[in-house]
Structure 1
């Protein structure tokens, strides 16, 4: 799968991000020279974790035959020590379900093991970057 991003020429920092058939607008906050017309990269990183935990909980509950009603996931970011090497994300999930204590514990473990959580904490990611002249 390829993710593509193309700058919006009429904006100082905004771009269109394409993921399969989905298009998202991204931008930098006002304080960083953008117009704040969309989420910035840190927001997308944090959102990936929130999304993954929610989808993992829903998938796990369905797999177990448990009924889940409303579900809300919030991620609070503390990037105050990011430059020193620590980026803190606190996730709070509110799940409407009639489950036993053992089932809640299983759901907690499932949420803690979502694929994005693992990528962020247990996997070495290797990135190569090439900058080419012009736009293809």
Structure 2
């Protein structure tokens, strides 16, 4: 999979992201000198985790015939220690449906195993950057 990010020269920091057939805008905050026209890269990182947990829980519940009717995820970022190597993400799942306590616990455990959670916590990511 390839994605592209291209600068929007009409704005200070705005960039256009193309992921397959999906397009979105990223931008810096007003404090960073951007126009806040879209999420920041940190926002996308956090959204990847929250959305992966939601999709994983919904997929698992459907596969196991668990009566989940809705799943919403709230994520709160604490990046105050990022420069010291600590980036905290507090995730809360809001589950709808006539779920037993055991089913709720099962879905919570599944959320902790979503692929992006694993990427962020248990996988070594190797990144190369070069000039094109």
**Which TM-score band (shorter chain)?**
over 0.9
Task: Report 1:6-45 matches (<5 A).
Answer: 6-45=6-45
Structure 1 residue ranges (4+ consecutive) displaced by more than 3 angstroms after TM superposition: none
Task: Report 1:40-79 matches (<5 A).
Answer: 40-79=40-79
Cα shift at 1:71: 1.9
Cα shift at 1:70: 2.5
Q: Which residue of 2 aligns with 1:107?
A: 107
SS state at 1:24 partner: strand
Cα shift at 1:102: 1.7
C-alpha deviations, 1:85-115, integer Å up to 9, x for none? 0000000110102122221111111001000
C-alpha deviations, 1:18-63, integer Å up to 9, x for none? 1110000100001111110000000000000010000000001001
TM-score of the aligned structures, taking structure 2 as reference length: 0.97
Tell me the number of residue pairs that the alignment of Structure 1 and Structure 2 aligns: 132
- CA RMSD, Structure 1 to Structure 2 (Å): 0.8
- The CA distance in 2 between the partners of 1:42 and 1:131, in whole Å, is 23
Give the unaligned 5+ runs of structure 2. Answer: none
Q: Which residue of 1 aligns with 2:87?
A: 87
- The CA distance in 2 between the partners of 1:30 and 1:129, in whole Å, is 28
